[in-house]
Amino acid sequence: MKRLKAIAASAVLTAAAFPALADTTLHVMSWQPAYVAGTDYWDKTVAGFEAENPGVKVESNFVAFGQYLPTLTAMIAAGSLPDVFNGGTKTGELGRSGHLVNFKDVYDAAFFDQFYAGPLRQYTFDDKPYGLPDMAQIFGVFANDRIMKEVGVEVPNTWDELIADVPKFKAAGYIPLSWGNLTRNTCPDFFLPLIAQYGGDVYALDDHTAPGLSWDSKPVVDALDLLQRLSKAGVFPEGINGIDDPQSRQLAYQGRAAMYFGGSWTPGIFAQDGTKDWLDNYSVHKVPALTPDGIHFTGDGAGEAWSVNADGPNKDLALKFIAYLYRPDVYNWRAKGLQSFPSMKSAVDQIDNPKVRTMISWIATDSANHILFGPGSWDAVSNVCQSALDGSISPADGAKKIEADVMAARSN
């Protein structure tokens, strides 16, 4: 009787467990609009994994960037994180609180060597990589060569040259350098590498644990001062805090601006919606430096990095999916499809656009952090950035305010 009971119990358990094993859904979430059903290389990626893992279904969920972090916050609060997802700027806090897998526990050094250092560094906290960069990025200045020739100036090598050229641009009716800061996330992209140009360490500032290091230190004040001098000199569009990215690109497309500040993903956007004049005439250059022989520190890193939910029911499968996503042959499909800066060195050959390849070549020498992960850092910097641009705060007061706001956020 006992034996019969045992057989019956194991049959029930097997019946209960078998459908779960045979029909597992892996929940994937990102803000990359191409990573959805209907994009050939993503379909190929998903189909490949499903074929290698019978009974597994990959569910790809896209959430627009503007709503992504609020959605993620709600999921964290509800304890319902997806299996694989972009942690964005919450990666550090999520990892430190134990919700993300530390990839160092899973993959060996050779795996990490495949990535460019900067983008991987960005998602490594306390020496633990909680995110793996999907596509990398680096910023530069895109110039309309036709306008530059008409105005009679070269693309500036230093910030002082740029300021000195402003009257020539203005006299010819052009905005020297276009970008928009309505959504507040572009100013940190522009400003944070300036801190590196002045010798500051943005990673350390963001971490904010080194003794004596604070946001009101000299490199930050100097960088805010430079940002404000550029703004006051008329380098940027009027009302830059009221212009969003697409509008600032239009200024370049419509021949109203001589140059445009943007990331390595923008050539892909130019190809989709740029005017013929812009596409025929634009070239890409490093952002200016402080001195003629100075380093042109510019933002590098990765906006999107894949993380794995450490508390999820499909953790092992999710790690298998990550290993699959970064298999060079599989990664190449995405790199080829997106034509953006790949985070894996082996995929550079997949990039056809020579301008993107030029930008990729800068990562070894000119990269600097431009994304903040620490509690309160991003809000504090982006708000003071806006004030520096509209001249409503002095550089010294701005730096003090960043420090005060970061400390207030971390104490609450």
Distance in Å, CB of 130 to another protein, minimum: 12
Please state, as a whole number, how many other Cβ atoms lie within 10 Å of the Cβ of residue 290.
18
CA pair distance 227, 245, nearest whole angstrom: 18
The least distance separating another protein from the CB of residue 263, rounded to whole angstroms, comes to 14
C-beta of 275 vs 387, nearer to another protein: 387
Q: Is 160 helix (H, G, I), strand (E, B) or coil?
A: helix
Cβ atoms of 238 and 402 within 8 Å: the answer is no
**Interface stretch with another protein, choices 36-44, 152-160, 276-284, 381-389 (CB under 8 A):** 381-389
* Cα–Cα distance for residue pair 177/171, rounded to 1 Å: 15
* Run of H or E including 367: strand 367-369
- With CB under 8 A as the contact rule, which of the stretches 47-55, 65-73, 156-164, 350-358 interacts with another protein? 65-73
Judged by CB under 8 A, does residue 386 bind another protein? yes
Q: Does 367 bind another protein (CB under 8 A)?
A: no
Binding mask 162-201 for another protein (x = CB under 8 A): -------------x------xxxx--x-------------
Stretch that binds another protein, among 145-153, 210-218, 249-257, 310-318 (CB under 8 A): 249-257
Q: Least distance (Å) from another protein to the CB of residue 379?
A: 5
Choose one: 20-28, 36-44, 89-97, 276-284; the region binding another protein (CB under 8 A): 89-97
Report the candidate in 24, 88, 29 with the shortest Cα–Cα distance to residue 61.
29
Establish if 240 lies at the interface with another protein (CB under 8 A).
yes
Q: What is the C-alpha to C-alpha distance for residues 161 and 231, in angstroms, rounded to an integer?
A: 14
Residue (of 377, 155, 134) closest to 265 by Cα position: 134
Q: How many CA atoms lie within 13 A of 222 on its CB side?
A: 13
> With the CA atoms of 187, 189, 195 and 201 taken in that order, what torsion angle do they form, in degrees rounded to the nearest 10?
140
Least separation in angstroms between CB 73 and another protein: 5
Q: Where are the beta strands (DSSP E) in 213-267?
A: 257-263
Shortest spacing between CB 250 and another protein, in angstroms: 7
C-alpha closest to that of 103 among 76, 80, 123:
123
Shortest Å distance, C-beta 237 to another protein: 5
Which residue, 65 or 324, has its beta carbon nearer to another protein? 65
Q: Which of 37, 36, 26 is nearest to 62 (CA)?
A: 36
From the list 33, 55, 239, 292, which residue makes contact with another protein (rule: CB under 8 A)?
A: 239
* Count of residues that interact with another protein, criterion CB under 8 A: 55
CA distances from 29 to 33, 78, 84 (A): 10, 16, 6
Extract the tokens encoding 74.
């709600």
Interacting residue with another protein among 108, 127, 238, 329 (CB under 8 A): 238
Reported as half-sphere exposure (CB side, CA atoms, 13 A), residue 355 has a value of 23
Distance CA(25)–CA(334), nearest Å, equals: 22
Q: Cα separation of 54 and 70, whole Å?
A: 34
Q: How far is the CB of 393 from another protein (least distance, A)?
A: 8
Minimum distance, C-beta of residue 87 to another protein, in the bound complex (Å)? 10
Residues 287-306 that bind another protein (CB under 8 A): none
Of 118, 133, 374, 395, the one binding another protein (CB under 8 A) is: 374
Q: Which of 378, 395, 399, 402 binds another protein (CB under 8 A)?
A: 378
Residues near another protein (CB under 8 A): 65-66, 69-70, 73-74, 76-77, 88-90, 92-94, 97, 99, 175, 182-185, 188, 237-244, 247, 250-251, 254, 256, 371-379, 382-384, 386-387, 389-390, 392-393, 409, 412
